[in-house]
A and B are shown apart, each in its own frame.
Chain A
Amino acid sequence: MKISGAEILVESLKKEGVKHIFGYPGGVVLNIFDVLYNEKDIKFILTRHEQGAIHAADGYARASGKVGVAIVTSGPGATNTVTGIATASMDSVPFVVFSGQVPTMLIGNDAFQEADIVGITRPCTKYNYLVKDVKDLARIIREAFHIASTGRPGPVLIDMPKDVSAGKTDFEWPQHVHIKSYNPTYEGNKRMIRQAAHEMIHAKRLVIMAGGGVIISDASKELKELAEFLNAPVTMTLMGLGGFPGSHSLSMGMLGMHGTYYANMAVQNSDLLIGIGVRFDDRVTGKTNSFAANARIIHIDIDPTSIRKNVRVDIPIVGDVKRVLREMLKDLKEEGKKKQWSAIKKAWLKQIDKWRKEKPLSYTYDNKVIKPEFVVEKIYELSEGDAIICTEVGQNQMWAAQFFKYDKPRRWLSSGGLGTMGYGFPAAIGAQLASPGQLVIDIAGDGSIQMNVQELATAVINKLPVKVAILNNGYLGMVRQWQELFFNERYSHSRLDVVPDFVKVAEAYGAIGLRASKPEEVEPVLKKAFKIKDKPVFMDFVVDWREKVYPMVPAGAAIDEMIFEEEETKTEKKLKAVK
Chain B
Amino acid sequence: MRHIISVLVENKFGVLSRISGLFSGRGFNIESLSVGETIDPTVSFMTIVTTGDDQIIEQITKQLNKLIDVIKVIDFMDVEHVEREMVLAKVAPKKEDRAELLRLAEIFRGRIIDSGSTTYTIEVTGDEKKIAAFVELMKSYGIKEFARTGKVAMAREGKKQR
Contact = CB atoms under 8 A, between A and B. Distances in A.
Interface of A: 118-119, 122-123, 126-127, 130, 147, 179-182, 303-305, 307-309
Nearest to B22: A123
Contact of A304 (B9, B62, B70, B71): B62
A113 B55 CA distance: 43
A303 B21 CA distance: 19
Contact of A122 (B9, B14, B55): B14
B27 interface: no
B45 to A, nearest CB: 14
Interface in B113-138: none
Most chain B CB inside 10 Å of its own CB: which residue of A180, A181, A303: A181
A303 B62 CA distance: 9
B55 to A, nearest CB: 7
A119 B17 contact: yes
A119 B18 CA distance: 9
What does DSSP make chain B's interface, helix, strand, loop or mixed? helix
Interface in B19-73: 21, 25, 55, 58-59, 62-63, 65-66, 68-71
Nearest to B58: A308
B21 A122 contact: yes
A181 B59 contact: no
A122 B59 contact: no
Task: Give the interface size bracket for B toward A.
Answer: 10 to 19
Given A122-B21, A181-B68, A181-B70, A305 B14 contact: no
B10 interface: yes
Contacts of A182: 68
A228 B10 CA distance: 47
A182 B71 CA distance: 8
A118 B9 CA distance: 19
Contacts of B14: 118, 122, 130
28 contacts: A118-B14, A122-B17, A122-B18, A122-B21, A123-B21, A126-B68, A127-B68, A130-B14, A147-B68, A179-B68, A180-B71, A181-B9, A181-B10, A181-B68, A181-B69, A181-B70, A181-B71, A182-B68, A303-B66, A304-B62, A304-B66, A305-B59, A305-B63, A305-B66, A307-B62, A308-B58, A308-B59, A309-B59
Contacts of B17: 119, 122
Contacts of B69: 181
Contacts of A122: 14, 17-18, 21
Given A304-B66, A305-B66, 11 more contacts: A119-B17, A122-B14, A123-B25, A130-B14, A181-B10, A181-B68, A181-B71, A303-B66, A305-B62, A307-B62, A308-B59
Nearest to A304: B62
Contacts of A308: 55, 58-59
A94 to B, nearest CB: 14
A168 B21 CA distance: 35
A125 to B, nearest CB: 10
A181 to B, nearest CB: 4
Contacts of B68: 126-127, 147, 179, 181-182
A182 B70 CA distance: 8
A180 B69 CA distance: 9
Nearest to B24: A123
B159 to A, nearest CB: 24
A281 to B, nearest CB: 16
A130 B55 CA distance: 34
Most chain A CB inside 10 Å of its own CB: which residue of B10, B25, B66: B66
A74 B25 CA distance: 25
Contacts of A307: 62
Nearest to B65: A304
Contacts of B18: 122
Contacts of A309: 59
- Shortest 7 CB-CB distances between A and B: which pairs? A305-B62, A181-B71, A127-B68, A304-B62, A182-B68, A123-B25, A305-B63
Nearest to A306: B62
Most chain B CB inside 10 Å of its own CB: which residue of A126, A182, A303, A307: A182
A307 B71 CA distance: 21
Most chain B CB inside 10 Å of its own CB: which residue of A123, A179, A305, A308: A305
A436 to B, nearest CB: 35
A126 B69 CA distance: 11
